[in-house]
Amino acid sequence: MKKEENVLQGENELNINHLFQKFNPFVQALALQICGNTAEAEDAVQDAWVTVYTHGHQLRERDSFLPWLKRIVINSCHQSTRKGKRTIFVDELPASDKMIEECIESKFEKVGNRDALYGILAELPVHLRETIMLRYFTGYNSYDQIAAITGVPIGTVRSRLSDSKKKLSHLWKHYEDIDSSAFRKSQYWNSFYNEVCPGAYTDNNLLSNLYAHISPDLQLVFTSGKTAIGRNVFKQGIEDDFEHGSSIESVDLCSTSGNLTVLKVTFSNSSLFPMHCPPNSYMTFIRKENELSAIKLYHAERDVDSDFC
């Protein structure tokens, strides 16, 4: 943090970076005692600190921090040991300390933490950023679900998550310039896709804006693993939707970091072609020089009639 920004926080705010420096040795020792394995202990502690950074603003009492941190670390250790799905001891926390499961934008009320998060996430390579965003920013976050969306084995998902958390931990400790530009860019793209993705089906101007945003060499990766190249393939998919009376009804989730956006959308089908598109889909958008250069599609339910949907 810049010296001029490194000021004392208010009594009710938690300086997570300071607390990390103070308590990390203690929780490392605690994790090692539980896991009995250095690698597992380190992974559990990294996972715990990610949770603390994303939820710490909701802990209003400073004296509650250490007991809360210990519970998170213990939980992470048990998860690491049994390699189960991620859970958090929400029900065991006092009502005033319960962590609210909302989208990432609402979690970062403290501007410094929010801007730092978006800044350091943008530093991760795309494949790591996509994995960490699916894990922590969406409700579709189990290892097998992430593996299905990203098209890689579960072992690769575990490896990417481990690499991501190590890099995030390193970046948190060394991040100096808290700048809101990364956050503002993410909000711009979130707003853009929230408007044009459903709006393109009813507004010709928004449809033109969407087409203009797409690179002529767009790469499309479908749920089946099949790939296609070209903006015209995307246009044909939209035209096919129009012909069958299908559309994107809503954007249920939209989260951006750097040149990567993860979306969950809900489709609407006509009564004549009720199975044309799936009920919902996850989409990963990758931009190059502000043009949409790649789209990966994943449909949990693959009862569809066209490759695009």
Last residue of a domain, one of 156, 179, 202: 179
Whether residue 222 sits in one domain with residue 141: no
Last residue of a domain, one of 179, 202, 223: 179
pTM summary value: 0.60
Whether residue 147 sits in one domain with residue 66: yes
Q: Residue 307: inside a domain, yes or no? A: no
Last residue of a domain, one of 141, 157, 179: 179
- Could you report the per-residue pLDDT of 89-99, keeping only the tens digit for each? 333 333 322 33
- Find, among 237, 235, 192, the residue nearest to 215 by Cα: 235
- What's the pLDDT score for residue 57? 61
Residue 131 has pLDDT above 90, yes or no: no
Q: Residue 306: inside a domain, yes or no? A: no
Q: Residue 212: inside a domain, yes or no? A: yes
Whether residue 217 sits in one domain with residue 171: no
Computed over every residue of the chain, the mean pLDDT equals 76
On whether the CB atoms of residues 280 and 246 are closer than 8 A, the answer is no
Residue 76, CA distances (Å) to 15, 51, 53, 63 in order = 22, 10, 15, 21
On whether the CB atoms of residues 76 and 31 are closer than 8 A, the answer is yes
Average pLDDT over residues 211-240: 92
Residue 61 has pLDDT above 80, yes or no: no
76 Cβ contact list (under 8 Å, min separation 6): 31, 44, 45, 47, 48, 51
| Structure-derived torsion over alpha carbons of residues 256, 261, 264, 267, reported in degrees to the nearest 10 | 130
- Could you report the per-residue pLDDT of 2-13, keeping only the tens digit for each? 333 333 233 334
Whether residue 236 sits in one domain with residue 142: no
Residue 205 has pLDDT above 50, yes or no: yes
Q: Residue 75: inside a domain, yes or no? A: yes
The domain in which residue 10 lies consists of 3-179
260: tokens are 């990567």
- Could you report the per-residue pLDDT of 157-198, keeping only the tens digit for each? 888 888 887 777 777 666 665 567 777 888 899 899 999 999
Whether residue 261 sits in one domain with residue 149: no
Whether residue 82 sits in one domain with residue 42: yes
- What's the pLDDT score for residue 82? 56
How many structural domains are present in the chain?
2
- What's the pLDDT score for residue 161? 84
Residue 104 has pLDDT above 70, yes or no: no
How many Å is the Cα radius of gyration of the chain? 21
Whether residue 284 sits in one domain with residue 262: yes
- What's the pLDDT score for residue 74? 84
Whether residue 218 sits in one domain with residue 102: no
Average pLDDT over residues 45-54: 78
Query: Residue 288 maps to which CATH number?
Result: 3.10.450.50
